[in-house]
Amino acid sequence: MASDKEPTVIKKYANRRLYHTGTSSYVTLEDLAGLVRSGEDFVVYDAKSGEDITRSVLAQIIFDEEAKDGQNLLPIAFLRQLIRLYGDSMQALVPRYLEFSMENFTQEQSKFREQMTKAFGGTAFSGNALDAIQAQTRANMQIFQEAFRLFNPFTAVAQAKQEAAAGAKPAAEAGSGDLGDLKRELNEMRERLDKLSRSR
């Protein structure tokens, strides 16, 4: 939720109590979860060191929600994959990808809910609805991959190597065409960068 309003400051004290500076009162993690749901932005600082600990507090809220019966949003397979990505060479891309996917989902969710309700009635999020959700996820992934490809033309080389190794094309046959494609993509990228620099 975009807002010009400054985020509310929450201070966390050594006794683990959270102090809401806007209302001059102590709050719980459940209260902070309510603020998130209502769209109110906040930051959490350690009262002693002044360190921004918003990330760890939000993670704790998610942990508490996941611990409740029937509240699970994060599949076990997803959590395992996420853990594997820590320290991986692709780690730097994961936060932006997750942000991108959630922003896209949030923008589309009203329309998505309406379409799901029309298609499946009162059981909007059961049965065949899973197929629609998976289709949306695949679409998000495709959009992200295309955006990433535009900003990293060298992925075309890796893709060509994979296809050649898989036998999609003989290596000799693929080489000249892939090199031409790469040159063309690099030229397109240079043109885009030139346009961006001139527009500033």
Q: Torsion angle, CA of 16/71/138/125, rounded to 10 degrees?
A: -150
Q: What is the pLDDT of residues 10-67, one digit of tens each?
A: 999 988 899 999 999 999 999 999 999 998 999 999 999 999 999 999 999 999 998 8
Rounded Cα distance between 90 and 115, Å, is 35
Q: Torsion angle, CA of 10/12/13/16, rounded to 10 degrees?
A: 130
Given a cut of 50, whether residue 118 has pLDDT beyond it is: yes
77 vs 139, higher pLDDT? 77
Model confidence at 106, pLDDT cuts 50, 70, 90, reads: confident
**Confidence at residue 171, expressed as pLDDT on a 0 to 100 scale:** 45
Residue type, 132: A
Residue 153 vs residues 35, 146, 158, 160, 198: alpha-carbon distances, Å: 42, 10, 10, 12, 22
